Structure formats: structure tokens, C-alpha cells
Structure 1
Amino acid sequence: MALPSSDELLGTFVPVAVYWMYSGIYAMLGDLNDYRLHTKAEEHKRNAVSKAAVVKGVLIQQAFQIIAVSLLFFAYGHDGNAVQPQPSLPTILLQFAAAMMVMDTWQYFMHRLFHTSNFLYRHVHSRHHSLVVPYAFGALYNHPLEGLILDTAGGALSFILSGMTPRTAIFFFSFATVKTVDDHCGLWLPGNLLHVFFSNNSAYHDIHHQLYGTKYNFSQPFFVAWDKILGTYMPYSLERRKEGGLEARPIKKID
């Protein structure tokens, strides 16, 4: 039996570490009321699950994720501990782009299915939406079945279809993790480069978490293309609240 290489081990565990480090940074920034999309009072009042339960739920999902990724690398691994040669930088960039498109496509249609199926929403996806006011370390607070279908399967397809090596996967899955955490951070910070380069951001996804937005903005984690193509795009404006902070408000009539 071939042992996993260092790249495969890093590809398995680094995204988990990145999740907690990056969300920890946002947790420390949570008192920046001028940049919050919801007040702390809203967070405590509207969220239906404790932060301790969220941490437990995320850790359970990440345990499943570690097992699944280990099996993926074993199935598509290589002999012994030899490291696969890295392709050229242009090839790596193409693989990144392909993986992003595969992940976005998978997650859009699966995410939308979790909303359009009353059974799947009630028994599975509603757990994630118990966080009406999202925050960073709740990004992966899902039912384990949803985590397997939406996140783990989407990641596996991205890895396989893009043809990336385990070393490239370290960087891709770490970046996807950062993006997912950022989309749920509940803050709109000036100078955030992810907001500069991606229209799919914390405000865009916050619309989806509100009761009026659950039929819109299914795209995650990178682009908004599928929402625009299939008519589920909800544009918004960022407005200052009287009590401080910002609010993402829809700017079209909601069906």
C-alpha cells in the first residue's frame, strides 16, 4: 500500500488549519461595528444555534472531510512517496480556473436543489440557515450530508476534472476555504481584495441568508455567473444603518 506523500498530507490538513486561522482573525474583528452587516443584537436574537454547537458541527464536518480527502488522494495517488512533477505556471493557472468553474457549477446546482426540495431543505440545508446572521467560523456549519454532497464532492470533482497535482490542491483548497470563510464573515471591510476581484462576497451571500433572499444568490464560492444566467441573481446596495454599520439591501422587487 502506498503511503501518502507530504503534499497529500498537507492537502488534507492545511485547509482545515486555514479555516480556523482565517475565521479566528474575523472573530477578533467582530467588534468593528462600523463594518458589520448586522448588529450584534441581531446576531444574538436571530441565530437559532449557539456558537458552541456551531464549532462542534464544523469539527464533525471537517472530520468527514479529512477522511474523504484522504481516500481521494489514495484513489488518485501515485506510487510510494514520490512527488508528482509540477506543471508549468500557465498550466497551474488554467487548472485553478477550471477547478473554480467546476466547483461553482456543482455548488450552484446542488445548493439550489437543497432549496427547491422541501425535504432536503427541511431535513438538511435548514441547519446552515439557522445562522440568519452569518459569521466566519459558521461557514461550514452544515448537516454532514450537505457537507459531503456540496463541499466534499464538489472539491473532489474540482480536483479530478482540473487534473491538478496534490501540491496544487494545497493552494486551491486553501484559497477556496479562505473565500468561503470570507463570504460568511458578516463584515464589509475596506480594501478587502476578495471584494475587489469577486462579486460573490459577504454582502452578496448575506442577501441569500435573509428570509427574503433564500430564492436568490445560490452561487458560491467564486462567481455569480450561474445566478445571472438562470435568473436567480439579486442585486443589492450597501446602506448605512442609523445604529451604525452597513446593511445589504435588495434593489429589485422580490417575488
Structure 2
Amino acid sequence: MVFWEGYVSDEAMGIIAPMVVYWVYAGFYQLVLPSLDEYRLHSRKEEDEKNLVPFHSVVKGVLIQQLLQATIGFSIFLLTSTTTSTTLAQRQQPSIQHQIAQIILAMLIVDAWQYFVHRYMHHNKFLYRKVHSQHHRLVVPYAVGTLYSHPVEAVFDTVGGGVAFILSGMTPRTSVFFFSFHIVKTVDDHCGMLLPWNLVPRVFYNNAAYHDVHHQLQGSKYNYSQAFFSIWDRVCGTHMPYVVVKRDGAGYEARLVRRVG
């Protein structure tokens, strides 16, 4: 039993919930926490000076990406649905343990997809210049800009989530929780802050500091892994070690550790 049962279908909630979670969670970072300079990885001055795209363009880009996500998500649910009407049997959920296993499998699939697509977009000069460089216009990432990217990249990312949904065998209802958590984790990775009370970046080594290294010039060919684990960077030799140190004035800094060889 879930709170939306009887009001909207699981498929509709699987599309709506991640978008709502995005704006609520990213908005919390953007509107409630901007004054907490002691937890920022970059100063607000750096954010203003280094970023190459205005805030209103970022919001517009995110809305376009979410429209694409909704369209592709609707198509995937339509293609994988066995009937146009939701029956009690279709609402039957597997055990909690089974759902957790499906979510972990989906996380691993998303990580593999994201790593190799992301890495290829950096190494293919045409794709980087025409597509992926749009995301890197945010040299200093912030929460609302998490999904700011080129529409082509948005399609690749969304298809990767669809592949994870299909291969993991999760139901639309389970996908609501998976994709909502995926959004929370991805916003955390781009928020540019290390909050002591936020347990998500403490549980996952692949966090805001890890991804901040990738947005730095020296680290742009490293730390490709998104969104949950750093497995593929370590397997493929693209992991850039770093340490988090206190920055002069206020806040933190992800400082690169010189690689040997």
C-alpha cells in the first residue's frame, strides 16, 4: 500500500515523483542552504566567476531534460506493460529483499552505462565539443544544475535508466523509489557542499567531492563514475585520488593527489 494508490498509477508516479523530488531537494540546497559557506567546496565568488552559463539558462535546460525523461519514461512503461488496465495481480510486489536486490542490480547497471557513455563523450572530441561540454559549463556545480546537459546526453542518460529498469526486472512501483533515490544521490553529487548531517555522501565514496574533482581542469579525464559507486574508475584506471581539506577562509577543497606513473 502506497499513498498514491487509487489516485495515480505506479507508472505515472514513476515519471512524476523523480521530477518533484528533484525540484524540492535541489531547491532546498539552492534556497535554504546557500549561506552555509563553511560546508561549500567552492566559494560563491568562484561560482559566479567560473560558471559559463546563467542560472535562468540552467533552469530552462533542466526543464527540457525532464520533458525528455518523461517522454522516454512513458514510452518504456508503455512498451513493458502487459495490459492497458492495472489489475490487482500487476500490483503484486515481490518481497522487500527481492526489491532491494533489484535496486542494487539497477544501481550497478546504471553505473556501468553512465561510466562508459560519460567516458566516451570526453574522449570523442566531436561529442565533447557539441554535446557533453554543455554540462561542464558549470565549472562549479550546484544543486539545481545537476541535470543541466545537452538534450542528446539527456536521452542517453534516460535510456540508461530504462535499461536498468528492464534488466533488473523491477515493477513500476519499485522504480518510483529507485529513480527518486537516484535523483537524491545525483543532486548530492552536484550540490557542491559537504554537509555533516547528510548521510548519503558519507555512505557513498562517490560523492560531491569525488565529482568536483572531475569538474576541475586537472581531473576532467578522471572520476567519470556516476552515480552510485566508483567501481569502474578503479577497474579502468581512471580514479583520481584526492583529499578533502579546509579551504582558506571558509569551506572545504577537494585537493588532487599527484598520481604516480
Give yes or no for TM over 0.5.
Answer: yes
Give the aligned residue type for 2:23: W
What is the total number of aligned residue pairs between the two structures?
A: 250
Does residue 213 of the first structure (1) align with residue 202 of the second (2)? no
Map 1:121-140 → 2, pairs under 5 A = 121-140=128-147
Q: Choose from 112, 116, 125 the match for 1:118.
A: 125
Give the aligned residue type for 2:82: H
Could you tell me the TM-score, scaled by structure 2's length? 0.94
Once the two structures are superposed, what CA deviation does each residue of 1:85-118 show, in whole Å capped at 9, x if it has no partner?
Answer: 1001111011011000000000000000010000
Does residue 81 of the first structure (1) align with residue 80 of the second (2)? no
Once the two structures are superposed, what CA deviation does each residue of 1:18-56 show, in whole Å capped at 9, x if it has no partner?
Answer: 000000111121210000000000000000000100000
Identity of aligned residues (%): 52
* Paired position in structure 1 for 2:3: none
Contact 2:188-2:201 at 8 Å conserved across structures: no
* Paired position in structure 1 for 2:149: 142
Once the two structures are superposed, what CA deviation does each residue of 1:177-223 show, in whole Å capped at 9, x if it has no partner?
Answer: 10001100000111321122100000000000011111000000000
Q: Which runs of 4+ in 1 moved over 3 A?
A: none
Could you tell me the TM-score, scaled by structure 1's length? 0.96
* Paired position in structure 1 for 2:245: 239
Q: Choose from 32, 46, 50 the match for 2:50.
A: 46
Once the two structures are superposed, what CA deviation does each residue of 1:135-170 show, in whole Å capped at 9, x if it has no partner?
Answer: 001010000000101x20110011000000000000
* Paired position in structure 1 for 2:168: 162
Distance in 2 (CA, whole Å) between partners of 1:158 and 1:253 is 33
Distance in 2 (CA, whole Å) between partners of 1:239 and 1:189 is 14
Distance in 2 (CA, whole Å) between partners of 1:252 and 1:199 is 19
* Paired position in structure 2 for 1:180: 186
Q: What residue ranges of structure 2 are gaps of 5+ in the alignment?
A: 1-7
Contact 2:140-2:192 at 8 Å conserved across structures: yes
Offset at residue 254 of structure 1 (A): 8.1
Give the aligned residue type for 1:102: I
Give the aligned residue type for 1:52: H
Distance in 2 (CA, whole Å) between partners of 1:250 and 1:77 is 47
Offset at residue 78 of structure 1 (A): 3.0
Offset at residue 253 of structure 1 (A): 3.2
Does residue 97 of the first structure (1) align with residue 97 of the second (2)? no
Secondary structure at the aligned position of 2:91 is classed as: coil
Secondary structure at the aligned position of 2:245 is classed as: strand
